[in-house]
Structure 1
Amino acid sequence: MVRIIEFFFLLLKAVIALLLAGMIVLVFGNVVLRYAFNAGITYSEELSRIFFVWLTFLGAVVAMREHAHLGMDSLLRQLPPLGAKAAVLSGQALMLWATWLMISGSWTQTLINLHVAAPATGISMGMFYGAGIAFGVPAFLIILWDAFAVATGRIDIATAELVRDSEDQLALDDHPVPPLPHPIAKP
């Protein structure tokens, strides 16, 4: 099961890279065509907008799984273990509710706009709103799993990093930098 999940997220990262590459080609190609040849691709803006929305929502799923989203856990560090666990579970419950609202709203909008065609490309606008479902379902499962792991003690609140304090911390976690020597220290 773990291999299937790992493969799914690897595939998701590949899709994100392809969406970004497609967006770059469409936008850059359209700029070159407009300035060099006074012409353009009519569907470029619309397609790159759809790519951007999907890229954002799929990237949010990957970030959620890796706990790479920014947050502040200074209050959790001050609470006793039982209070911290209750606070985390309360936060998880609120996130589950918000994610359910996202899934529900996206599903409704997808159904409403399924037969509405985008002006330039003719693609169903349901495809645009379906990005919310593509984010919501995996995010709901990730949050549910994290809540289960916290509730059963599989994740220790005292030592776990459920959020990142800053983007600098994320970069340091990927590529640790050795400490600099003290400026007053003698060689």
Structure 2
Amino acid sequence: MNYQLFQDINNLAGHHSFLDRLMVFTSSKAFIIYALALLLMWVFGKEKIKYTVVFAVITTAIGLIINFILGHIYNEPRPFVTHKVHLLIKHAADASFPSDHSTFAFSIALAVLFRNRIIGFWMLLFAILVGISRVYVGNHYPFDVVGSFVVSVLASLFVYKFSSIFEPICRLIIAIYNKIPFVPKNDRSFSK
């Protein structure tokens, strides 16, 4: 079923130039888009939003650490290693499961969603597109993306549930930032 779903999505590649460009852009630029979104949230957001940004970074780091461990426990070859695929983006032939790109996107989106529903909703929609794009370009199986989503949910719930443990880190980072001269600062007081 995993391979059949992969074929259903990946076989669309190479037939629609706009869709190909969209999926390649989404797949290859997701890191930049999310980093830019977090940077804009940090610079222009109030202190509560800055906490959200730090929580999102912590969540993503935990998600990627889990991925690293899972990739060494279950080393599934990438689709282009074992099958003939429409490969739109070249990639190293390392472990396919789970998808780091998808974990990165889902972790940020879910961490933000728990604290800001509007921004988080749009980030989650983009994360879903990132996951689909990773299959479309031939780099991952659908279950790699599903695995990434599960990892991201677990990491997000962990950070959300134990946010009081991570709050001193947030406070420290924000305090350091607020001491930097000539950078935008909004609403220095934070109350829950």
TM exceeds 0.5? no
Q: Which has the larger radius of gyration?
A: 1
Normalising by structure 1, we get a TM-score of: 0.30
* TM-score (norm: length of structure 2): 0.29
